[in-house]
Amino acid sequence: MAEGVIIRLDTAACIVLSGGSSVRCSLPGKWRLRKGAQTRPIAVGDRVRFSLLPSGEGVVEGVEPRKGGKLSRKAAGEREAEQVVAANVDQLVVVASVAEPELNRRLLDRLVVSGEHGGLDVAVCLNKIDLADAAAYEPVLELYRRLGYRALATSAVSGVGLEDLRAALRDKTSVFAGQSGVGKSALLMSVQPGLDLRVGDVSASTGKGRHTTTAVSLLPLEFGGYVVDTPGIREFALYNIERDELQHCFPEMAERFGQCRFADCSHRHEPGCAIAAAVESGAIDPERYESYCRIYESLPAPDPARRRR
């Protein structure tokens, strides 16, 4: 029995990195079907045990318990199901562009919240800074730094910030996530030339990026560590976050716990809210607060029957 890590996952098979070699392994039905709340019980980044066939291919026999954090989202459709994007990862690098497409603060904050909830360190990477003046993006970087996040400014074109990005990725397993067209694949190829990744442009008609990465892939880095490249995101539905948990994923709110007039304050319309007062005074960034309100409204309301049990 051999062991390895899944570096690519398809419907009925996966690619496993084992001992420096890649092995194609088939997936028996139990690894392809929904298990509990998850769309499937296996993801890129999972460590697996597999048996080798005479053909040189393998069959996955078992999955090791997960030890690291994960990035997950609510699966598409009506049902409340979890889609694990990547497992056993250390950090989430949220990549956004300052132009082409324009900076999407709402999606950026959704991804940051997902990383917080998934137990990951979170870094914010603002890319394509060659297309904008520093005054347009430096205040955003400073905001996230004050909140305790690593914040980087990069350009795959000019090479600015690439060494800082390498340092952030070194000896960690990181997952890259962001809107289509923000330059995730171009950044990775600049950080490590030779990676076989497709790079696309932004659609002139919609201003949105075209999907170029079509599957989640875990890539070894020659300077140490791994990075998970993910397809571009246009929407990101959060999974398994309760409304009263959301404030814990916003550090600027967490430091003000217990200061509101009401213990169950939602921080949206109640009198005597310390969070609203901090927004009014400028102590909390209004765009971050708007992200909180929008995410709050998108989360399911608590089930009164469940609370009575």
Domain holding 85, by residue range, is 69-229
User: What total number of domains does the chain contain?
Assistant: 3
Over residues 176-199, the pLDDT tens digits come to: 999 989 999 899 999 998 876 443
For helices 286-298 and 274-281, angle between their N-to-C axes, nearest 10 degrees: 140
Say how far apart CA 15 and CA 6 lie, in whole Å.
6
Say how far apart CA 211 and CA 93 lie, in whole Å.
18
Please check whether residue 41 lies inside any domain of the structure.
yes
Q: Looking at residue 78, what is its pLDDT?
A: 53
Alpha helices in 74-202 (DSSP H): 105-117, 134-146, 162-169, 184-191
Q: Looking at residue 307, what is its pLDDT?
A: 44
Instruction: Please state, in angstroms and as integers, the Cα–Cα distance from residue 122 to each residue in 6, 30, 91, 243, 250, following that order.
Output: 23, 32, 6, 21, 12
Please check whether residue 237 lies inside any domain of the structure.
no
Task: Say what the pTM is.
Answer: 0.87
Q: Looking at residue 303, what is its pLDDT?
A: 64
**C-beta pairs of 31-39 under 8 Å, 24+ apart in sequence:** 31/60, 31/63, 34/81, 37/80, 37/81, 37/82, 37/240, 38/81, 38/82, 38/83, 38/84, 39/75, 39/81, 39/82, 39/83, 39/84
- Do 56 and 76 sit in the same domain of this protein? no
Over residues 236-270, the pLDDT tens digits come to: 899 999 999 999 999 999 889 889 999 999 999 99
- Do 57 and 79 sit in the same domain of this protein? no
- Do 104 and 165 sit in the same domain of this protein? yes
- We report the CATH number of the domain holding residue 11 as 2.40.50.140
- Do 56 and 74 sit in the same domain of this protein? no
Contact 163, 80 (CB under 8 A): no
Query: Phi and psi (nearest 5°) for 244?
Result: -75, -10
Contact 220, 201 (CB under 8 A): no
Instruction: Please state, in angstroms and as integers, the Cα–Cα distance from residue 18 to each residue in 2, 21, 25, 54, 56, following that order.
Output: 8, 5, 11, 17, 13
**Of the candidates 247, 215, 212, 241, the residue with the CA atom closest to the CA atom of residue 230:** 215
Q: Looking at residue 37, what is its pLDDT?
A: 72
Say how far apart CA 59 and CA 50 lie, in whole Å.
5
Please check whether residue 296 lies inside any domain of the structure.
yes
- We report the CATH number of the domain holding residue 89 as 3.40.50.300
What residues in the chain have per-residue pLDDT under 50?
197-213, 306-309
Please check whether residue 118 lies inside any domain of the structure.
yes
**Two tokens, residue 100:** 């082409």
Q: Looking at residue 32, what is its pLDDT?
A: 77
